[in-house]
Every structure is written in structure tokens, then in C-alpha cells.
Amino acid sequence: MVRGSITLIALALGMPSLATAETMSFGDSLGLLAKSCGADIVANCRGVNPDSTRLKECLSRNRDALSQQCQSDYLTAFDAIQKRIAARVTVANACQREIVKVCGGSTKETSKSIPCLIATPKGISNNCLRAVDEAGYR
């Protein structure tokens, strides 16, 4: 019984860190990548276009030559970047009604309606606000 309680406490304490990893900002992701892999990128991926796809491919190709810290962190950083990009794409779907009715905008130009969505919490659904938060706009 005590072991089960200790396990539950350990899991509960670990949950906030998992939640923050899912919503890591672009800056935090790039900071983690620079801290963990900066020297490895210079040594193994010099001249590679710094977009996330090409840099990830380069690091994956050179995985054997990467430091232990870089090997453990680079996939986490790239996954966080992809999750943030996916979250920004979902804002248009989650906030479609609010973009058109509340903000008078167009779902084709969602980015122009973001300031309105942030400044006008009344009339914005919880689903839309959650999508805006996950996308890192608020």
C-alpha cells in the first residue's frame, strides 16, 4: 500500500514537467537545442540550412558522432517545435466562429485575428482559448 502511494506521488510530481514539455515555446526549444547540441551542430552540420527538417536530418545522420547530451535532447526539442507548429495550425479550426463573428476576420488570415482573440476573452469559447494558449499566442 505504501509503495503504491509513493509511486502515485512520484507520478503526480512528474506530470507538470510532462505538461510543460508539450507546450515548450519555440525559443525554449531552440535554447535546449543550442545548449545541448551547439558544438555538435558546428562540428557535424556546418553549412546545413538551419530549418528544423534539414537540421534534424543532419543530426540523425550523424547520431553516432553526437555527444550524449545532444543525443538525449535533440529529438525532444524538434518534437516540441512540431507540436507548437501543429497547435498554431489548429487555431483556425478551433476559433473559426470567433474569428468571423467576434473579430470580423477571415479564417484564411488567422494571424490577423490573433490580437483580437487575445484582447476579447468574452465571447471566445474555452476550446478556442485553449488552442490559442497551446499555440503560444497568450
Average pLDDT per 10 consecutive residues for the chain, totaling 138 residues: 33 34 75 91 87 87 93 90 87 89 83 87 86 87
Task: Please give the DSSP secondary-structure letter assigned to residue 5.
Answer: H
- Is residue 78 situated within a structural domain? yes
Q: Looking at the structure, do residues 102 and 137 belong to the same domain, yes or no?
A: yes
0.85 surpassed by pTM: no
Distance CA 64, CA 60 (A): 9
Output the CA torsion sign for 21, 91, 55, 57: positive
Number of domains in the chain: 2
Domain match, 81 and 109 both? no
Residues 24 and 84 in one domain: yes
Residue 62 belongs to what domain range? Answer: 20-88
Q: Contact 118/85 with Cβ under 8 angstroms?
A: no
